[in-house]
Amino acid sequence: MMFNETILQEIGKILHSRNETISVAESVTSGCLQLAFSQITEASTIYKGGITAYSIKQKIEILKVDATEAEVENCVSQSITEQMAENVAGLFNTTWAIATTGYATQVPESQDKQFAHCSIFHKGDLPVSKKIELLPNTNPKDAQQFYAEAILYELHALLLPDLK
C-alpha cells in the first residue's frame, strides 16, 4: 500500500517541529493509518502507536466507547469515532489522535452503502469529525486506501499553516 510520501513527510516534519505526537484507533481502515505513520522519517519520535479494534467488544473494552451506543449503532457512528479518538489519545498519551470506523463493503447494516466516520482529536478538541462516502461497489481494499488517504489529507490540512 502506497501513500503520498510528500504529505507523510510534511506531517512528520510539522509534528517534530511542534514536539507533538500522534496515535491511531482504527476499525474500517484496518491498520492502513498505522502503516502510513510508520513510514515517516524518525516515526518513533512522533508516532506512539495504534489499535485496530474491529469488534464491538474490543471497542468497548479497550477504547472505552459507550456500550449502549456501540450496540445500537453497530459501533459505526460519528460519536463512536469521537470517543475512540479521545480515548486512544489518552491510552498512548499523545497530543493528536485519529479514529476511524465504517464499512469497506456494502452490507445490510450500512443500508448497502460504503462510508467511514473519522475523527481527529487534538489536545481536548475535535477539529475534524466527519463522514467519508464512497461510490457503490468500491473494492474493499480500495475503500480502505481511500479512507486512509482522505484522513491523512485532513490531518495535513490542519497542520499546513505550520509548514515552513
Instruction: Say what the pLDDT of residue 1 is.
Output: 76
In this predicted structure, the answer to whether residue 164 has a pLDDT above a threshold of 80 is: no
Q: What is the pLDDT of residue 2?
A: 85
Identify the CA nearest to 97 among candidates 127, 120, 76: 120
Mean pLDDT estimate for the chain: 94
Q: What is the mean pLDDT of residues 118-129?
A: 96
Query: pLDDT (tens digit, 9 = 90+) per residue, 11-27?
Result: 999 999 999 999 999 99
Q: How confident is the model at residue 130 (pLDDT cuts 50, 70, 90)?
A: very high
Q: Which helix (H) or strand (E) holds 113?
A: none
Could you tell me the CATH number of the domain that includes residue 132? 3.90.950.20
Q: How many CA atoms lie within 13 A of 139 on its CB side?
A: 3
Give the per-residue pLDDT at 162.
57
At 140-154, the pLDDT tens digits run 999 999 999 999 999
Reported as a single tens digit per residue, the pLDDT across 41-90 is 999 999 999 999 999 999 999 999 999 999 999 999 999 999 999 999 99
Q: Which residue spans within the chain are E strands per DSSP?
A: 22-26, 47-52, 96-103, 115-122, 125-133
Helix, strand, or coil here: 39? Answer: coil
According to the model, what pLDDT value does residue 142 have? 95
Supply the range of the domain harboring residue 24. Answer: 5-162
Give the pLDDT band (50/70/90) at residue 102.
Answer: very high
115 and 131 Cβ atoms separated by less than 8 Å: yes
Residue 136 has a pLDDT of 86
Rounded CA separation 80/150 (Å): 19
Domain count, the chain: 1
pTM of this structure: 0.94
Site of grid cell 517534530: 16
Percent of the chain with pLDDT over 90: 89
**Distance of CA 119 to CAs 44, 126, 132, 136, Å?**
22, 7, 11, 23
> What would the grid cell of residue 94 be?
499523545
- Is residue 91 predicted with pLDDT exceeding 60? yes
